[in-house]
Amino acid sequence: MSKGHFINRKDELKNLTHGLKRGKDYILIAPRRFGKTALAKKTLEEIKQDPNYLIIHIDLMFYSGGSIKSIAEGIINKCLNALGISGKIRQLWRQVDFSINLKLNYKDLELEPVIQLFKDGSGEDEWRLLEEALELPEKIAKKRNKKVVVFYDEFGEIDYFSERAVKVFRSVLQHHEEVNYLFAGSQETLMNKIFLDKSGAFYRFGELIYLKELTKSDVFSYIAETYPSINPEVIYEMLDLLNGHPYYTSLVLEHFISNPEISQDVNSFYQYIRTVLIPQEEAYLELQILKIKERVNALDVMRILSLKLSPYKELQLKEQQVYSTLRVLEVGGYIRKESRGIYTITDPLLEFFLRD
């Protein structure tokens, strides 16, 4: 995480903070590294200022590839932590002072059944444990007379577990009156399937917010005002190249600050991009390319798009082949459809890398 640059997102931050406090639920959707987690964390910090609120932050990526029980376990841990109990359920339940503590201080929350289920839960019990875990925030809110905001990051991951998991989440969360939810996910198509499609389990659950790049004018004024020694021409060049992509923008800004010479003229800037930024990000770029290559023609299509040309015109492929390749790339989050037949690459550094 960067040293606290947080550019723009003022409207989103305000809407999310106020909305969640007024009882609305939200879904944040954007490609990788667009600043979903950063924005959500900022929102939670704001809400936490109000002593009537408890916040719970659960990152589902952490449990990906795990079991239903492991998700439940993660949720229980986070709920216990929100109550001020430090430690993990896996270790805690064995400790005598933990059960005394529960009886003394948390009797009202009736945590014993959850702990019992955790101890001997397996098979069908896993699902009951998940339901109990999902129920905890509402229980906490009611018994403690607080409002609770829960943030589920990387929510698309639960779809990989099973359809049943998504349905269980929905069936429990929809009854909650004292808890409001914020979800975030990076696979736009998957998130749309869950939250936007009429047949999706979370249809109409909350308001969808599609996070875009940072606006160029905001990035420009932030940098120009905060770091007047940076050459404005270099800022323009950087905006052109990186298009306000939050991750790269904040990374480059850090490099500008620690190495002022790269921000003095445009040539040094490009030299820096090629010799520092690209090598530093190479593993991530190569990983993306590897995934793109899983589909025939997809890398060719990406190369053509990186040159701002049309794959329909430039490639010796049937229209249908180009169309379905574009769809696959879109579903993977590598490109975004701007208008009919017009696609842009979501990762500006990958675009530069392919073009260069």
Ligand X SMILES: Nc1ncnc2c1ncn2[C@@H]1O[C@H](COP(=O)(O)OP(=O)(O)OP(=O)(O)O)[C@@H](O)[C@H]1O
The number of C-alpha atoms within 13 Å of 104 and in the hemisphere containing its C-beta is 7
CB 85 within 8 A of CB 63: no
Q: Burial of 149 by CB count in 10 Å (0-12 exposed, 13-18 middle, 19+ buried)?
A: buried
- Tell me which of Mg ion, ligand X, none is bound by residue 30, counting a contact when its beta carbon lies within the kind-specific cut-off of 5 to 8 angstroms: ligand X
d(CA 154, CA 261): 38
Using CB under 6 A as the criterion, what x/- string covers residues 157-196 for binding ligand X? Answer: -----------------------------x----------
Q: Supply the minimum distance, in Å, between the C-beta of residue 183 and Mg ion.
A: 12
Q: If binding is defined by CB under 6 A, does position 9 make contact with ligand X?
A: yes
Q: If binding is defined by CB under 6 A, does position 37 make contact with ligand X?
A: yes
CB 133 within 8 A of CB 163: no
Considering only 5-13, 134-142, 199-207, 281-289, which stretch makes contact with ligand X by CB under 6 A? 5-13
Considering only 14-22, 102-110, 228-236, 244-252, which stretch makes contact with ligand X by CB under 6 A? 244-252
Work out which of 17, 37, 77, 180 binds Mg ion, going by CB under 5 A: 37
Query: At 345, which helix (H) or strand (E)?
Result: strand 342-345
Q: Which residues contact 170 (CB under 8 A, 6 or more apart)?
A: 201, 202, 205
Considering only 30-38, 67-75, 142-150, 317-325, which stretch makes contact with Mg ion by CB under 5 A? 30-38
Q: Burial of 312 by CB count in 10 Å (0-12 exposed, 13-18 middle, 19+ buried)?
A: middle
Binding residues for ligand X, total number by CB under 6 A: 19
Comparing every residue's Cβ against ligand X, the nearest one is 35
Work out which of 74, 246, 311, 348 binds ligand X, going by CB under 6 A: 246
Work out which of 1, 96, 104, 283 binds ligand X, going by CB under 6 A: 1
Which residue's CB is nearer to ligand X, number 121 or number 206?
A: 206
The number of C-alpha atoms within 13 Å of 126 and in the hemisphere containing its C-beta is 12
Over the Cα atoms of the chain, what is R_g? 23
Q: Supply the minimum distance, in Å, between the C-beta of residue 184 and Mg ion.
A: 6
Binding site residues, Mg ion, CB under 5 A? 37
